[in-house]
Structure 1
Amino acid sequence: MPVEENQQPLLQEEEERAYDSDEKVLIIGVDSDTESGGSTVLPPFSWKKLWLFTGPGFLMSIAFLDPGNLEGDLQAGAIAGYSLLWLLLWATAMGLLVQLLSARLGVATGRHLAELCREEYPTWASMVLWIMAELALIGADIQEVIGSAIALKILSNGFLPLWAGVTITACDCFIFLFLENYGVRKLEAVFAVLIGIMAVTFGWMFADAKPSASELFLGILIPKLSSKTIKQAVGVVGCIIMPHNVFLHSALVQSREIDHNKKGQVQEALRYYSIESTAALAISFMINLFVTTIFAKGFHGTELANSIGLVNAGQYLQDKYGGGFFPILYIWGIGLLAAGQSSTITGTYAGQFIMGGFLNLGLKKWLRALITRSCAIIPTIIVALVFDTSEDSLDVLNEWLNMLQSIQIPFALIPLLCLVSKEQIMGTFTVGPILKMFSWLVAALVMLINGYLLLDFFSNEVTGVVFTTVIEYDHQTSTASYLKHAVSVASDPLDGCQI
């Protein structure tokens, strides 16, 4: 019996964790909470502590700025103008709620979502959730890598084809592994720089475009929706919540050293993470707003509005706004490259946690990162080779990948909401009835919107296939009838003539 008791801690130590104890950031003065009248009294707000907790929320916010989101922004601006800015604001707020629940789960339990799914659900259910999470991650990574490859093609004046850009982007896995060796804070600093590059480049373009301030504020404050912009509206909401990001945030918050058994420390961590995540998503909202308004000002109401995509957006901007001191084409390319590179690295990061949490294979981090990267890069290179010569094909591919993300959303949201509602797991940090009801309403709304997107997409695809098949059948039937008649006339010239 004593042997078994001694073995239990050993087994727990052998389980994979998001971060080893020597990798975590030490929070100075975090255990200064006191008990008063049965309730925990938190120490006063500290900017120093906020700085120490700052990082995970900004890594999480990268998913709101990936190339897929940027494409949704530019299409919403070009087609709907300023009218969907209010929806972008509220979609970001819904995304913030989901991410705060993910952080709450990680901080309160000391485990991330993938680990808890493995522990709480039957093996078959856990495997289904893992497969769905991996598919969502691969789909998102293909979009992100293709976005980086497009940016490299722009910045090289077309010298680098897409497949070469994909190959170069694959190397960010090794950059990530190199940076990770220098500690969590160094890695977070790199992401802060990449977000700063996006803010500067897209802000520069926003200033060049000189959008209407009155229309911009009216678009944010007054809800408008028409039948012509419903598809763009659904896209704005649908691409905000990324399935792999729900798993990622619950793991990122493990990077700070706190005692999860002390209520005061958990409450204090949740307070600072909430402030940090809100600030991070406020910045991401502003960047998305910049992109939407740039294209709203330049292309809304023009014949080009329906033909703009990620591939040709840079050239359209160059034609519209000209060169200036620094050609806007390259400013766009730099911003797009920062978005693609940052999102692919966070995708690799998320892949590590998802694989480690669900499978608990005991692999070293570099090996997990390499496997995760290979799963995404190999299909992406194939995609790049197949679609390199066709912009329209890339847009169609992006739509299919968005559908893949939509299918995966329930497999991340439902487990998250179920787990944060269980008192056996969350203890005193179980979500209350009001927050629980509101969270399920938001989740239901997101899933309904994505369900509409799926139905609309597949109905159009099926209609297109049926229409093409009917046209081809009619064409073949008409051709066969004509040939038959021609043969009969050739054999009997008088046949078919009216006398």
Structure 2
Amino acid sequence: MPPQQHEQEQDHLLPLLADDREERAYDPTEKVVVIGLDDGDLDNLSTAPPFSWKKLWLFTGPGFLMSIAFLDPGNLEGDLQSGAIAGYSLLWLLLWATAVGLLVQLLSARLGVATGRHLAELCREEYPSWARMVLWVMAELALIGSDIQEVIGSAIAIKILSNGILPLWSGVVITALDCFIFLFLENYGVRKLEAVFAVLIATMALSFAWMFGETKPSGSELLIGILVPKLSSKTIQQAVGVVGCIIMPHNVFLHSALVQSRDIDNSKKGRVQEALRYYSIESTIALVVSFMINLFVTTVFAKGFYGTEQANNIGLVNAGQYLQEKYGGGLFPILYIWGIGLLAAGQSSTITGTYAGQFIMGGFLNLRLKKWMRALITRSCAIVPTIIVALVFDTSEDMLDVLNEWLNVLQSVQIPFALIPLLYLVSQEHIMGTFKIGPILKMVSWLVAVLVILINGYLLLEFFSSEANGVLIATVIGVFTTGYVAFIIYLVSRGITFSSWRAHPKLVPGTE
């Protein structure tokens, strides 16, 4: 073989070898095939094939897994507190916050479909080593904080359903085993796993709809709450909580990976357009379902506890007991209906948390580990601190509420580190090609991001101003805030600078 030809073949093989070494969200054999149903010779077209209900069904799944983050125990606690303290008045905000969440998740799906890579992988490629390590640590912290809430929520549900026989820590241990359930289900394919989540979401919908029917909230007040924006100084904290609970940092990473479970040839424009169309429809349906479930929970507690003495004391731990005291009896005790819904929310969200943890760790660190090993590492990161938390806080409902406030703050802190990289990446032509977002969508997306960051900034300011009672604590918070703001400025400025370099190659060193 001539040396030149040998070198050319080696050069041709290098990208393939690099791909083999890189972490991927799904192996080719795991992906759901969606081509070949009614396509004919449409592979070479630059436009999407005609709409097909059969294909919509095959694309259905990732959006519902993503929607679990809108229904986790942290969100349910935000819902019940919003209803108890603000009544029906913040339902309009729940609607618009869900719409904002949908926009962010659609951008995440767009990134995954157009590039064939998920957000963590692209952050590894686009940011310098020190910055991507900071982003990875922040994503892991957000995931651990969310997972603690989800596992504690499941443990509370297990305690309710066992009539208090099983303490909180044992519920945490039982919930930890969902890691192995998840691994077992994965062996049967993506569609089987998605079917299990569909059952869990249906369980939540049925449980909370039953509660809605039992308590009979006011239909007219519900409609007014959705259609007429109201906000007062007394409900501002609940309003911030509603917005803060909707965008979960780990979920932004998760959705960009989940969409790659379908076999899409992203070198063909028509195929990408087709996938984006179906994912947009599916994600919208999924978040409409999640909005209805959140609506049920909010209105049940608005009807039962708005304006009562218990309103300011309700949390996940005692919510079921308060419901039982108010609406006990019936065909099936409302305490257990609440417990079943809460258990479905906790179990589904902990499994998706394990999934997200695999993608985040694998994407940022490019780890080629067996799935059981990645799941075990991801699970341990959350379960070990959660068991410690359960042992320490099991005897005090008030302490659990304080813990939940701190975990909500942790989630709020992390939001910019998922949102800003996402918006930067979907705006870049060298990454997205023709699927980069246009100027109008870009402007709307950045306005939404700024609004969400400012709202969460308000939450942080309120929280830390009440906690900074000493010089040492104030100093630590001051140093943390300075570094935090500096890194956000770096992320934004780097995106602007890099975009200008791409637009003007002569500005890039070595391209003169």
TM norm structure 2: 0.89
> Does 1:293 pair with 2:294?
no
The CA distance in 2 between the partners of 1:161 and 1:51, in whole Å, is: 41
Give the letter for the 2:18 counterpart.
Answer: L
Whole-Å separation in 1 of the counterparts to 2:305 and 2:10: 72
Partner of 2:121: 115
Residue 53 of structure 2 corresponds to which residue in structure 1? Answer: 47
2:370 alignment partner, one of 361, 364, 375 = 364
- In the TM superposition, residue 381 of structure 1 has moved relative to its aligned partner by 0.2
Equivalent residue number for residue 6 of structure 1: 13
Q: Secondary structure at the match of 1:311?
A: helix
How far does residue 301 in structure 1 lie from its aligned partner after superposition?
0.5
Where 2:309 maps in the other structure, the secondary structure is: coil
Match of 1:397 in 2: 403
Q: d(CA) in 2 for partners of 1:451 and 1:94?
A: 17
1:339 and 2:336 correspond: no
Which residue, out of 352, 356, 372, partners 2:358?
352
Spell out, residue by residue over 1:150-209, the C-alpha distance to the aligned partner (whole angstroms, 9 max, x if none).
000000000111100000000000000000000000000000000000000000000001
* Structure 1 residues 206 and 7: alpha-carbon distance in aligned structure 2, compared to 1, 3 A threshold: same
- Partner of 1:64 in structure 2? 70
Q: Report if the CA contact (8 A) 1:101-1:420 is conserved.
A: yes
- Per the alignment, residue 246 of structure 2 pairs with 240
Residues 409 and 32 (structure 1), Cα distance of their counterparts in 2 relative to 1, 3 Å cut: farther
- d(CA) in 2 for partners of 1:354 and 1:189? 23
- Once the two structures are superposed, residues 312-354 of structure 1 have per-residue CA deviations (whole angstroms, 9 ceiling, x without a partner) of 0000000000121100000000000000000000000000000
Note if contact 1:33-1:265 (Cα within 8 Å) is conserved in structure 2.
no
2:505 corresponds to: none
Unaligned runs of 5+ in 1: 467-499
State the AA in 1 paired with 2:162: S
* Mapped pair 1:171 → 2:207: no
CA distance in 1, matches of 2:290, 2:41: 33
Q: CA deviation at 1:3?
A: 3.3
- Name 1:221's counterpart in structure 2: 227
Secondary structure, counterpart of 1:19 in structure 2: coil
Match of 2:268 in 1: 262
CA distance in 1, matches of 2:209, 2:262: 32
State the partner residue of 2:448.
442
- Residue correspondence of structure 1 range 20-419 to structure 2 within 5 A: 20-29=27-36, 34=42, 40-419=46-425
Q: State the Cα distance separating 1:41 from its structure 2 match.
A: 3.5
**SS of residue paired to 1:228:** coil
Shift of 1:258: 1.1
SS at match of 2:271: helix
Higher Rg: 1
Give the SS at the match of 2:468. Answer: helix
Q: Is contact 1:33–1:42 with CA below 8 Å preserved after alignment?
A: no
What amino acid is aligned across from residue 303 of structure 2 in structure 1? K
Q: Contact between 2:88 and 2:299, CA under 8 Å: does it hold in 1? A: yes
Aligned-pair distance for 1:4? 4.5
Shift of 1:35: 9.4
Q: How much does 1:28 deviate? A: 3.2
In 2, are the aligned partners of 1:35 and 1:41 still within 8 Å (CA)? no
Name the aligned partner's letter for residue 85 of structure 2.
I
Closer, same or farther: CA 188–44 of 1 in aligned 2, 3 Å = same
**Any conservation in 2 of the 1:33–1:43 contact (CA below 8 Å)?**
no
Number of residue pairs the alignment of both structures matches: 463
AA partner of residue 151 (structure 2) = V
CA distance in 1, matches of 2:466, 2:81: 19
Amino acid at match of 1:17: R
Q: CA deviation at 1:34?
A: 4.8
Of 322-331 and 77-86, the range deviating more from structure 2 = 322-331
For the 8 Å contact 2:253–2:418, the answer to whether it is kept is yes
Q: Deviations over 1:204-228 (max 9, x none)?
A: 0000010110000000000000000
Q: Is the 8 A contact 1:146 1:384 kept in 2?
A: yes
Deviation string 1:24-68 (CA, Å, 9 cap, x unpaired) is: 0000337557599xx833322111000000000000000000000
Deviations, residues 246-279 of structure 1 (Å, cap 9, x unaligned): 0000000000001000000000000000000000
Q: Deviations over 1:276-303 (max 9, x none)?
A: 0000000000000000000000000001
1:18 is matched with 25
Q: Is the 8 A contact 1:63 1:343 kept in 2?
A: yes
8 Å CA contact 2:47–2:273 kept in 1: the answer is no
Maintained 8 Å contact 2:43/2:271: no
Counterpart for residue 476 of structure 1: none
State the SS of the aligned residue for 2:46: strand
Matches of 1:28 and 1:237, distance apart in 2: 39
Q: CA deviation at 1:98?
A: 0.1
Give the alignment's Cα RMSD to 1 decimal.
Answer: 1.4
* Cα deviation, residue 462, structure 1: 2.5
CA distance in structure 1 between the aligned counterparts of 2:297 and 2:129, rounded to whole angstroms: 44
Q: Distance in 2 between matches of 1:72 and 1:299?
A: 14
Asked if 2 retains the 8 angstrom alpha-carbon contact of 1:141 and 1:344, the reply is: yes
SS of 1:397's partner is helix
Find the aligned partners of 1:43 and 1:393 in 2 and give their Cα distance: 56
Question: Residue 172 of structure 2 contacts residue 386 of structure 2 at CA under 8 Å; is this kept in 1?
Answer: yes
The answer on whether the counterparts of 2:34 and 2:55 sit within 8 Å (CA) in structure 1 is: yes
CA distance in 2, matches of 1:350, 1:462: 33
Runs of 4+ with deviation above 3 angstroms: 2-5, 28-36
Partners of 1:94 and 1:293 in 2: CA distance: 21
- Could you tell me which amino acid in structure 1 is paired with residue 383 of structure 2? I
Structure 2 unaligned spans of 5+:
1-6, 472-512
> 2:357 and 2:275 mapped to 1: Cα distance?
25
Q: What is the distance in 1 between the residues matched to 2:218 and 2:41?
A: 49
Task: Work out the CA distance in 1 between the residues paired with 2:199 and 2:455.
Answer: 34
Q: Which amino acid aligns with 1:118?
A: R
